[in-house]
Amino acid sequence: MIRVSDLRYQYSDSGPVLRGINYAQGSGESVALLGANGSGKTTFALHLNGILQGQGQIEIDGIRVESHTLEAVRRKVGFVFQSAENQLFLPTVLEDVMFGLLNQGVGVEEARQRAMQMIVSLNLEAYAERNPFHLSAGEKRRAALGGVLLMEPEVLILDEPTTFLDPPGIRSLSQMLNRQSMAKIIITHDSRFAIETTTRAVFFEKGQIVAEGPTREIIDRFGWL
């Protein structure tokens, strides 16, 4: 499903941030990206749907990620950003969650129904008509996730999804993710959550993947608990 070879990247005002990443992931597989602050996890993930474009090759489901394939790639890869604020921009939660469906050409009534179902399953029904900016941080994250899940991506990338969530919220998120059959990439500092939601982990250090293996083993090896 995902194949990355020798990916290199640096920001205009940084030194090398990704220093030759090789990565592969099967369809339906769930992988945790672990590693210290600044090790390159978010930068790497932003390449998978072409938000950043570095040197090297990336293929998603047989499609090379290039400027002219971005539309197709973004239909396959759903991304919930580290700061959910960047993802919510319409006057109500319902409109925000519906937005992607409408964009895909789904009719208004059907989009509204499917969005409401998602909102209910995320425990946000009381907020459907509220302004997303007035939600709490954890509620914003859930709303952003809802919009992305409705697009039924083949790859779901979640960048620090447990930040701001309370313990029951984390539990229901991991249960919800474990019911989803798409490939998942979960960037997290929450080791317990990683163990609950992924089978394999890769460990980033200074822009390189320095280890990979079963999630529990990697966490133990790096003392990442």
Residue numbers of the site for ligand ATP (CB under 6 A)? 11, 13-14, 17, 35, 37-43, 204
Length of the chain equals: 225
Rounded CA-CA distance 146/141 in Å is: 9
Taking the C-alpha atoms of residue 187 and residue 159, their distance in angstroms, rounded to an integer, is 5
Q: What kind and span of H or E run contains 5?
A: strand 2-9
Q: How far is the CB of 36 from ligand ATP (least distance, A)?
A: 7
Q: How near is the Cβ of 52 to ligand ATP at its closest, in Å?
A: 9
Q: Decide which of ligand ATP, Mg ion, none touches 188; Cβ closer than 5 to 8 Å per partner kind.
A: none
Phi-psi region of 100 (alpha: psi -120 to 50; beta: other; left: phi over 0): alpha
CA distance 160 to 210: 20
Shortest reach from residue 136's CB to ligand ATP, in Å: 21
Using rule CB under 5 A, residue 188 touches Mg ion: no
Residue 45 CB, nearest distance to ligand ATP (Å)? 8
Residue 13 binds what, of ligand ATP, Mg ion, none (CB under 5 to 8 Å, by partner type)?
ligand ATP
Name the site residues for Mg ion (rule: CB under 5 A): 42
